[in-house]
């Protein structure tokens, strides 16, 4: 059974009531989970854990930043055991606030690849999405957009669409480029991308794909699972979008395509630490890895995990960047400074 509570309201005896700062959840075999993943398919992911472990999940959902701020404000009184959120940058920020505790688990060390485990063992990556280039088949030669580098090439002047430079997805990409290229070259690249904008950054990743299909721009940056969502859609307008665009995994001849993650960590004041550890170990299991892939179009991070998602599999194999997820967090402040300096709003 999953007990789901949104950030500000719960329901009791049929009436809406404000949630207290520290919900009075029973102390039996439970897990108190704070999650910023808003995917309906995760219901099955969590429900399967309860079925296998006999541990009931009490869940609070909210957007990423308010959820992290809530944890900081709750401090030692927090009822939360585990934080699940999207992107290394946000997990790193939670670590910097002292919200996590180090975790020793042979299961995680055995099943998760090295780059999905930060050195201090405070948080882990459990699923991945590629930061891809989407191009308009009618206006752009794909040979001109094979690498992130190409987005700054004058050949693409007036053809690049992205979401905000302050969004964590783009900050993590820039963090990876800083690590690979160094600060100077990364800043030159960012300046070139800004010079190539078709319009000011706005909207989410799906909006970028639609803009490329509509000819508003020639190329766009997006996480792969947004693309696969459109592939799976039955809506005629979404099918038309996919017909008009193509997808490129960048930098296949160098360091590989940047990978964005969903991850989790056990919180510092977790009242149910044993259940929390079991939950993270479950996220690395074949069952959970299959839910990530089939339910939300994310790649499993565990080698050999089943991939029964036909549309996701149809994208083919590719070389993924193997940078440790901790690096993607550590470079975030510099990434934001660079974007600010070049006017990547």
Is residue 229 pLDDT above 60, yes or no?
Answer: yes
Question: Percent of the chain, pLDDT > 70?
Answer: 92
Q: What share of the chain is helix, strand, coil (3-state, %, to 5)?
A: 45, 20, 35
Q: Fold match between 2-127+260-307 and 129-258+321-342?
A: yes
Distances (CA, A) of 3 to 34, 70, 93: 12, 19, 27
Report residue 76 as tokens. Answer: 């030692």
| pLDDT band per the 50, 70, 90 thresholds, residue 294 | confident
Q: Tell me the backbone φ, ψ of residue 124, rounded to 5 degrees.
A: -145, 150
Q: pTM of the entire structure?
A: 0.88
Q: Where are the domains of the chain?
A: 2-127+260-307, 129-258+321-342
More confident residue, 34 or 11: 34
Cα 192 from chain centre: 26
Q: What is the DSSP string of 184-233?
A: HHHHHHHHHHHHTBSS---S-HHHHHHHHHHTS-SEEEEEHHHHHHHHH-
Cα 223 from chain centre: 9
What's the DSSP call for residue 148?
A: G
Tens digit of each residue's pLDDT (9 = 90 or more) over 240-267: 999 999 999 999 999 999 999 999 999 9
The answer to whether the CB of 117 falls within 8 A of the CB of 123 is no
The stretch 134-142 carries a mean pLDDT of 98
Q: In the prediction, which pLDDT does 18 show?
A: 32
| pLDDT band per the 50, 70, 90 thresholds, residue 308 | confident
Q: Which CATH architecture has domain 2-127+260-307?
A: 3-Layer(aba) Sandwich (3.40)
| pLDDT band per the 50, 70, 90 thresholds, residue 5 | very low
More confident residue, 311 or 44: 311
Q: In the prediction, which pLDDT does 15 show?
A: 32
Q: Tell me the backbone φ, ψ of residue 81, rounded to 5 degrees.
A: -100, -40
Domain covering 129-258+321-342 in this structure, CATH number? 3.40.190.10
Burial of 143 (0-12, 13-18, 19+ CB in 10 A): exposed
| pLDDT band per the 50, 70, 90 thresholds, residue 295 | confident
The answer to whether the CB of 315 falls within 8 A of the CB of 108 is no
Report residue 18 as tokens. Answer: 């404000």
Q: In the prediction, which pLDDT does 28 show?
A: 60
For residue 224, list its beta bridge partners: none
* Highest mean predicted confidence (pLDDT) among 25-34, 38-47, 274-283, 300-309: 274-283
- The Cα 158–Cα 294 span in angstroms is 36
What's the DSSP call for residue 19?
A: P
Q: In the prediction, which pLDDT does 17 show?
A: 29
| pLDDT band per the 50, 70, 90 thresholds, residue 16 | very low
What's the DSSP call for residue 257?
A: B
Tens digit of each residue's pLDDT (9 = 90 or more) over 31-59: 999 998 876 778 889 999 999 999 999 99
Q: In the prediction, which pLDDT does 324 show?
A: 97
The stretch 208-229 carries a mean pLDDT of 97
More confident residue, 226 or 295: 226
Tens digit of each residue's pLDDT (9 = 90 or more) over 77-133: 999 999 999 899 999 999 999 999 999 999 999 999 999 999 999 999 999 999 999
- The Cα 88–Cα 327 span in angstroms is 9
Is residue 4 pLDDT above 50, yes or no?
Answer: no
The average confidence (pLDDT) of the chain is 91
Q: In the prediction, which pLDDT does 125 show?
A: 97
Q: Crossing angle of helices 286-296/42-53, nearest 10°?
A: 160
Distances (CA, A) of 90 to 34, 168, 175, 193, 333: 14, 7, 13, 24, 12
Q: Quickly count: other Cβ atoms within 10 Å of residue 297's Cβ.
A: 24
């Amino acid at each position: 059974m999953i007990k789901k509570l949104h950030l500000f309201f719960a329901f009791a005896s049929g009436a809406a009531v404000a949630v207290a700062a520290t919900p009075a959840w029973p102390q039996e075999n439970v897990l108190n989970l704070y999650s910023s993943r808003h995917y309906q398919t995760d219901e099955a992911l969590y429900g399967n854990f309860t079925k296998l472990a006999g541990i009931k999940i009490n869940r609070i959902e909210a957007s990423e930043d308010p959820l992290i701020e809530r944890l900081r404000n709750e401090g030692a009184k927090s009822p939360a055991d585990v934080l699940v959120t999207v992107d290394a940058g946000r997990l790193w920020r939670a670590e910097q606030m002292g919200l996590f505790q180090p975790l020793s688990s042979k299961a995680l060390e055995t099943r998760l690849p090295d780059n999905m485990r930060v050195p201090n063992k405070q948080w882990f990556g459990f699923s991945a999405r590629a930061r891809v280039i989407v191009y308009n088949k009618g206006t752009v030669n794909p040979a001109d957009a094979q690498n992130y580098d190409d987005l700054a090439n004058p050949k693409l002047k007036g053809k690049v669409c992205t979401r905000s430079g302050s969004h964590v997805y783009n900050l993590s990409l820039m963090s990876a480029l800083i690590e690979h290229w160094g600060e100077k070259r990364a800043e030159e690249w960012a300046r070139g991308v800004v010079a190539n904008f078709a319009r000011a950054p706005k909207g989410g990743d799906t909006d970028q794909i639609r803009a490329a299909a509509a000819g508003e721009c020639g190329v766009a940056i997006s996480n792969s699972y947004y693309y696969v969502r459109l592939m799976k859609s039955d809506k005629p307008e979404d099918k038309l979008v996919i017909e008009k665009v193509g997808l490129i995994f960048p930098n296949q001849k160098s360091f590989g395509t940047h990978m964005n993650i969903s991850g989790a960590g056990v919180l510092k004041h977790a009242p149910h630490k044993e259940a929390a550890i079991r939950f993270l170990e479950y996220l690395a299991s074949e069952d959970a890895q299959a839910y990530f892939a089939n339910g939300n179009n994310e790649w499993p991070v565990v080698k050999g995990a089943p991939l029964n998602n036909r549309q996701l599999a149809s994208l083919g194999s590719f070389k993924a960047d193997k940078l440790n997820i901790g690096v993607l967090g550590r470079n975030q402040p510099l990434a934001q400074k660079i974007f600010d300096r070049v006017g990547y709003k």
